[in-house]
Structure 1
Amino acid sequence: MSARSELLRRLREDVHRPLSKDEIFEEFEIAKDQQQMFSDLLQDLIKSGQIFKNSQGLYGVPEKFNLIGGRIEKTASGNAFLIPDDPEKDDIYIASANMNGAMHNDKVFVRPVHSDRGKSQAGEVAEIIERVNKKIVGNLEKYKNYGFLIPDNNRICNDVFIPPEALNKAENGQKVVAKITRWPEKNRNPEGEIIEILGDKDDPGVDIEAIIRQLDLPGEFPDKVLTQIKNIPDEVSEARVKKDDERKDLRDLKLVTIDGADAKDLDDAVSIEKLDSEVYRLGVHIADVSHYVTEDSPLDSEAYSRATSIYLVDRVIPMLPEKLSNGICSLNPRVDRFTMTVFIDYRLQGKNGIEIIDHDITKSVINSNHRLTYDAVQNILEDKESQERQQYSDFVEELEMMNELRRRLRRHRFEEGSMDFNFTEVKVELDEEGHPIDLKKRRHREAEQLIEEFMIAANRIVAAEMSWRDMPFIYRVHEEPDLDRMQQFNEFIHNFGYSLKGVKNGVHPRALQEILEDVRGTKEEKIIETVMLRSLKKAVYSDKNIGHFGLGISHYSHFTSPIRRYPDLTAHRIIKETITEGYLSEERQDELDSELPKIADHCSLQERRAMDAERDSVDLKKIEFMEDKIGDEFEGIISGITGFGIFVELENTVEGLVHIKNLRDDYYHYDEEKYHLIGERTKKIYRIGDQVKIKVTKVNRDERQLDFELLEKLD
């Protein structure tokens, strides 16, 4: 057991009062020459939220002080939730009055308080461990000789006061970046200094630049990274292949990549072999990024800092430089590439059955036959006379075998309990100046499903292998939902004639999937899917394997995208070390025990920030797309109901608000339990899923505001 783990165990189990640092040294018999190292360990544990140091300088585990560590997730209302570091703990509601100066994404300790929210826990921020929002992006509103920065991120609810000496020539209405100079306190706004003027808020490109600054990610890679990658080759040499005798040579194996037409970072390839009439061998070949991104190098440090590639509407902010992401690591066709391969042997049983009979994880070198697109694969599978079928005739048989395997894997996964939400994705098409010209829905067809199923298969094999070996590892986990939330959800769907099985004793994901299947294609599909999703926890990274509820899987990891996700790169390193040596040394296990919780927490945070930015960039362009459509009429579906109005989603996926004050035929009241508005006199009801006709009345890009007038209910 590592020193970190042993310290935490003994503080939890053997120590019955808070200890000073000297008492810890005495209790744990720390020699004088080891005390500085142990002090550093204590400080590290405080920063990670695993140990609490009180105002008297005494140390203990947080739970002994009645504290829970985690990250703040703020809502636009000003209230928030604590997302605990321990994925097995429930989220904790924090009223705005109990934030005590904490901001969105800050790492904090929370103390439970009395709750009026039924069984839901409530708390107040007791201490802020780590500040995240050191820079804020927004519009400057100037008053005489001072100003306020209005944050673009509506989760940062505090306007930032800018004193006269900190305006730095910024003018009213400009999009600016401010550095926080004084953190918020109870009933006091944060203060800041303008450090960058992005331009007038309506200037072309300023809106997306603002989102990039909000993430605080540099556009260019540092010089030390660019210097390091000069020594990385542009191709895999035969001499390097021969030198690595542990790497399996798969260059004669027929395999392809399948991605979107505009993808450039091709990190996965697939193969399939028919071993006999009942056994298929699936090969999932993932770019061996860890071969080039060595641990603790400048390149690795920058990749860790970014943690993920970010796909904004008009650009990609990559985790790795283009030389790697689009070059030596990308599995481009007809060139040798180093990979990590997962082989899985499946036995087909009857018409629909399937079982895993063997698997192997190995280092490899491949040479992809083709770079296929989802559209090309779909045409091959659908149309026997397609041009693509002739163009890729050497791989048609394999694609048909893959599609049969996809069908069985997908069927088996949903039978086990994986959940299948039917939400629509949209691609925004831009002109050369960055203005939106079209919104296109993305279809999730057999070609996309094929890659999805194969990546899930590889991810779960890798996680199960590392769990079986009892090695430190980074998992992708999704906690079971709170029972009280599931009971509330069950009460809600009773209004539509549905019932959730097993809600009193803990819900199985299969029960939720059955509800999704039952509502598919019905009027209430949208509302039930939306409310169900709100009732679930969010998936995160963790060094503790608690399974993945949403996928109905007991072991799951992210292994298949190391070009764009740091957890996958971390997983590759651990797997490669383990399969090469057969085990990890005790020293290496101690090191991973120490590092993995920090990596998991950091990557989960960066993932949430990236997802916010990606969504914001799309939503921004959707609103801009509607700017010339004021007065136009559209049909749509009610996508949300609140006490202040009705959200309506149009066919093009744009969503706007009908304010309750503009419903003029009656006074309407919000029924929170049934998620609907009901007229006081007419008893007319508006529910999520109702079809309506609206007119666009207001478009405001600055406030991310799109207002509709409700013309009529269509059903």
Structure 2
Amino acid sequence: MKYDEARDRILGIFKGAARSALSAGDIADRLGLRGGRRKKLDGWLARMAKEGLLAREPGNRYRLPWGRDVYSGRVNFSRSGRGFVAVPGGEVVVEKDALRTALPGDRVKVVLTQGVGRRGGAGRRASDRQQGRVVAIEERSQRDVVGTLRRRGGKWTVIPFDPAYPQPFAVSSTEGAKDGDRVIVRFSGWLQSAGRPEGRITEVIGPADDPSLDTLSVIRQYALRDEFPVPVIREAETASQRRNDPGRRVDLRDRLVITIDPLRARDFDDALSLERGRDGCLVLGVHIADVSHFVLPGTHLDREARERGTSVYFPDKVLPMLPEQLSNGECSLNPGVDRLAFSVFLRLDARGTVSGRSFAKTIIRSSARLTYEEALEHLEGGVRTGRKRPAGRAAAVVRLLHDLNAIAQNMRRRRFEGGALDLDSPECEIVMGPNGMMTDIRPVPNDISHQLVEECMIAANEAVAAEIVSRGYPVLARVHDPPKEEKLQDLECELENLGFRFGSLAGKGRLSSFLASVSNHPLGEHVKMLVLRSMNRAMYAAEERGHFGLAKAHYSHFTSPIRRYADLVMHRQLAACLAGAGRPAYSREELARLAAECTEADWRAEEAERRLVELKKYRFLAREAASGAAPARDAVVVSVAGFGVFVELQGWQMQGLVAFRDRGEQSWRGGAGGRSRRQALYSLRPGDKLKVRVLRVDEERHRIDFALVEPAVK
């Protein structure tokens, strides 16, 4: 018996007697050890005590080290194979050799072993994060795993689609799948002899190289719901008729109200208006689709929406939270038709500061449906297209746009002056062709048309949270906790290695100031990514903790109830609050459960969307590499290693390696003084811009190799 097997068997003995201490003899008897094997036990127990897996007591007795240094939690994996377990006050890092048989999503018990120290620039200590070891698998994740079936060494294995899984699954039967097929495998146990998980294939999706199956693969991997049950559809059709019974509402159908959305959007859940009140102050109206009028608590519709938690947006498919009869129909604020809304009115003083708020159930009729591109063109005065000056109703819409933009930019300026973080990176839109193939990638700029809508929505979300809290009702808050001190120290070290000398980022407004200072730097987008990695993830909570990234003390989600269940919950809570009945729609305990559910749904959707976009990019670049005629692309050096430089494609958010030595490409000469390729590479530094072309793409390992085309632009 080897140590790894003995360790697992010994821990298995203690699992049923977690609080008991056992002698070495007791353990030997339970393992059935005799003679020479009995002598090995003392060495195994001593090693386990040294590793923190067992605590030794007088009389050569051992017990599990349960106490303040033992925690339970779900384990997640990085692509490097490290495990991370969230614990009160931070997280525990678990190295690959200390994970035992844990898989992503498993609930594990970890024991702390030591602090994790790292040294940054100038040799200073960057952090003391906790390191631990998994001592027990408390609960296996029930998620199925999508992967590619491969024949290796005469045996069948499934290589997981998700790079977070550190090892392939062994399978004994292919269930009709062929080598190279994408399949769904269900965990069935751990194959000790091979040191890997074992599973059985439950579904064959199809060839892994068929891009038309990518979306289905992601849907299966993240257990997303892609069809509505018949009872839900029937209820949606019936619920649509509730428009005929709107209840008491403020009639705003004669007001100038507009929507601004993406070109391909079909569900419009927010609209804007701006008027001057009786006292001369401006009143900003943020009108949100009144989904709560159509989706009642306890119905099939409500349960399905809660189960989904959020809509999921893929390049070639949308998985809506609500059936289309509502999401694209009765609840969508389409132009020229009467729609029910829940409106937020923000009173603005002469400086554009919010000085008052009110709320009402309303009926609106959108005057115009604008795309972001159209709104931007109007805001820029039609310069790009030479459009004639609008007249009549169109002219009023343009005036409204300019007035809204002036207010939004004032709000935005004050928000950043208050310490908000500018972490907006240029998004990219994947252009899809036939058969699931990506044909192009386009930047989606965060221009003033997007900022106009964003600032109005932030203001409305803040107002709703503040109102509910001020009345003493429990709130489903959207919280973003400040980063831990050790995380900021790690970030400072990484930035120093990139050549940035800004000092401590821990003071109020320091991080915001730093981001502003590097906004035009070649590494600006990479720096934003590093800052994001150092941040806590935004989440839902049943108590107010503030939103660090937005620099808001009160914040919730209210403005997107068609696509987020958390917003629908806040609509119901605000309605109960305004009714003055003294009884909230949801108790604090109910909101705590909803917060966990909505956070999980939000993160799952975000990861699924990112994974599919990433896969499409890999396929596109792999096709370029295979063509032998890959074009030169702009890139920036993000780090330098002993074997090459890592670069990021500009506008792609994809990184890869330019190796110092690569037999797969021809030698390169060019640039000033006819430098050799190796000389050019060795002179590169983070932030240098260069031209590269893709050489190889390993989609299963998520690796890209690039070749240098032109030297760096210094």
TM-score (norm 2): 0.80
Residue equivalent to 2:238: 231
Structure 1 distance, partners of 2:704, 2:552, is: 40
Q: Give per-residue Cα distances to partners, 1:561-584, cap 9 Å, x unaligned.
A: 111111111222212222123532
TM-aligned CA distance change 1:544 to 1:100, over 3 Å: farther
Q: Give per-residue Cα distances to partners, 1:434-458, cap 9 Å, x unaligned.
A: 3222211111111110000001001
Structure 2 distance, partners of 1:186, 1:473, is: 52
2:132 aligned with 1:123: yes
Q: Secondary structure at the match of 1:459?
A: helix
Q: What are the within-5 Å matches in structure 2 for residues 587-602 of structure 1? A: 592-602=587-597
TM-aligned CA distance change 1:686 to 1:186, over 3 Å: farther
Structure 2 distance, partners of 1:109, 1:251, is: 59
2:580 aligned with 1:578: no
> Which stretch shows the higher mean deviation, 443-452 or 193-202?
193-202
Q: Secondary structure at the match of 1:348?
A: coil
Residue equivalent to 2:91: 91
TM-aligned CA distance change 1:569 to 1:111, over 3 Å: farther
Structure 1 residue 526 displacement after superposition: 3.7
- For 1:399, give the aligned amino acid: L
Q: What are the within-5 Å matches in structure 2 for residues 102-117 of structure 1? A: 102-117=102-117
Residue equivalent to 1:57: none
- For 1:95, give the aligned amino acid: E
Q: What are the within-5 Å matches in structure 2 for residues 168-207 of structure 1? A: 168-182=175-189, 188-207=195-214
1:236–1:336: 8 Å Cα contact kept in structure 2? no
Structure 1 distance, partners of 2:468, 2:67, is: 32
- For 1:593, give the aligned amino acid: R
Q: What are the within-5 Å matches in structure 2 for residues 271-670 of structure 1? A: 271-275=273-277, 279-349=281-351, 354-383=352-381, 386=387, 389-390=390-391, 392-494=394-496, 496=499, 498-500=501-503, 503=505, 506-508=506-508, 510-584=509-583, 592-630=587-625, 631=628, 632-638=630-636, 640-641=638-639, 645-653=644-652, 655-658=654-657, 660=659, 662=661
Structure 1 residue 99 displacement after superposition: 3.0
> Which stretch shows the higher mean deviation, 360-369 or 275-284?
275-284
- For 1:610, give the aligned amino acid: A
Residue equivalent to 1:696: 694
Between structure 1 and structure 2, the one with the greater Rg is 2
1:636–1:648: 8 Å Cα contact kept in structure 2? no
Q: Secondary structure at the match of 2:582?
A: coil
- For 1:104, give the aligned amino acid: P
- For 1:101, give the aligned amino acid: T
Structure 1 distance, partners of 2:282, 2:510, is: 31
- For 1:421, give the aligned amino acid: L
Residue equivalent to 2:264: 262
Q: Secondary structure at the match of 2:463?
A: helix
Q: Give per-residue Cα distances to partners, 1:298-331, cap 9 Å, x unaligned.
A: 2222212211111111111111111111011111
TM-aligned CA distance change 1:625 to 1:298, over 3 Å: same
1:173–1:201: 8 Å Cα contact kept in structure 2? yes
1:622–1:654: 8 Å Cα contact kept in structure 2? no
- For 2:460, give the aligned amino acid: A
Aligned identity (percent) is: 32
TM-aligned CA distance change 1:694 to 1:130, over 3 Å: same
Q: Give per-residue Cα distances to partners, 1:477-530, cap 9 Å, x unaligned.
A: 1111111222333345456453245x5xx432x211111111221234244333
Structure 1 distance, partners of 2:679, 2:290, is: 66
2:694–2:707: 8 Å Cα contact kept in structure 1? yes
Structure 1 residue 134 displacement after superposition: 2.2
Q: Secondary structure at the match of 2:601?
A: helix
Structure 1 distance, partners of 2:651, 2:237, is: 45
Structure 2 distance, partners of 1:548, 1:163, is: 50
Residue equivalent to 1:210: 217
- For 1:547, give the aligned amino acid: G
2:184–2:204: 8 Å Cα contact kept in structure 1? yes
Residue equivalent to 1:60: none
- For 1:154, give the aligned amino acid: P
TM-aligned CA distance change 1:278 to 1:653, over 3 Å: farther
- For 2:607, give the aligned amino acid: D
TM-aligned CA distance change 1:345 to 1:310, over 3 Å: same
> Which stretch shows the higher mean deviation, 488-497 or 516-525?
488-497
2:697–2:703: 8 Å Cα contact kept in structure 1? yes
Q: What are the within-5 Å matches in structure 2 for residues 41-60 of structure 1? A: none
Structure 2 distance, partners of 1:93, 1:555, is: 32
Structure 1 distance, partners of 2:241, 2:661, is: 62
Structure 1 distance, partners of 2:206, 2:412, is: 49
- For 1:194, give the aligned amino acid: I
Q: Give per-residue Cα distances to partners, 1:621-642, cap 9 Å, x unaligned.
A: 2223234433435242335437
TM-aligned CA distance change 1:190 to 1:248, over 3 Å: farther
1:477–1:546: 8 Å Cα contact kept in structure 2? yes
Structure 2 distance, partners of 1:597, 1:185, is: 40
Structure 1 residue 382 displacement after superposition: 0.8
TM-aligned CA distance change 1:160 to 1:646, over 3 Å: same
2:212–2:437: 8 Å Cα contact kept in structure 1? no
Structure 1 residue 475 displacement after superposition: 1.1
1:112–1:123: 8 Å Cα contact kept in structure 2? yes
Q: Which runs of 5+ in 1 are unaligned?
A: 1-17, 20-62, 665-678
Residue equivalent to 2:172: 163
- For 2:176, give the aligned amino acid: K
Q: Secondary structure at the match of 2:196?
A: coil
Residue equivalent to 1:55: none
Residue equivalent to 1:147: 156
2:71–2:109: 8 Å Cα contact kept in structure 1? yes
2:214–2:436: 8 Å Cα contact kept in structure 1? no
Structure 1 residue 406 displacement after superposition: 0.9
Structure 1 residue 559 displacement after superposition: 1.1
TM-aligned CA distance change 1:146 to 1:573, over 3 Å: farther
Structure 1 residue 197 displacement after superposition: 0.9
Structure 1 distance, partners of 2:659, 2:699, is: 21
Structure 1 residue 645 displacement after superposition: 5.0
TM-aligned CA distance change 1:223 to 1:635, over 3 Å: closer
Structure 1 residue 233 displacement after superposition: 2.1
TM-aligned CA distance change 1:397 to 1:680, over 3 Å: closer
Q: Secondary structure at the match of 1:179?
A: strand
Q: Give per-residue Cα distances to partners, 1:106-138, cap 9 Å, x unaligned.
A: 455544332233421233445556544521101
Q: What are the within-5 Å matches in structure 2 for residues 16-55 of structure 1? A: none
Q: Secondary structure at the match of 1:433?
A: helix
Structure 2 distance, partners of 1:294, 1:184, is: 49
Residue equivalent to 1:75: 78
Structure 2 distance, partners of 1:126, 1:621, is: 39
Q: Secondary structure at the match of 1:227?
A: helix
Structure 1 residue 277 displacement after superposition: 8.8
2:99–2:134: 8 Å Cα contact kept in structure 1? yes
- For 1:105, give the aligned amino acid: G
Structure 1 distance, partners of 2:571, 2:135, is: 38
1:331–1:337: 8 Å Cα contact kept in structure 2? yes
Structure 2 distance, partners of 1:452, 1:130, is: 41
Residue equivalent to 2:22: none
Residue equivalent to 2:123: none
Q: Secondary structure at the match of 1:91?
A: strand
Q: Secondary structure at the match of 2:239?
A: coil
How many residues get paired? 620
Structure 1 residue 374 displacement after superposition: 0.9
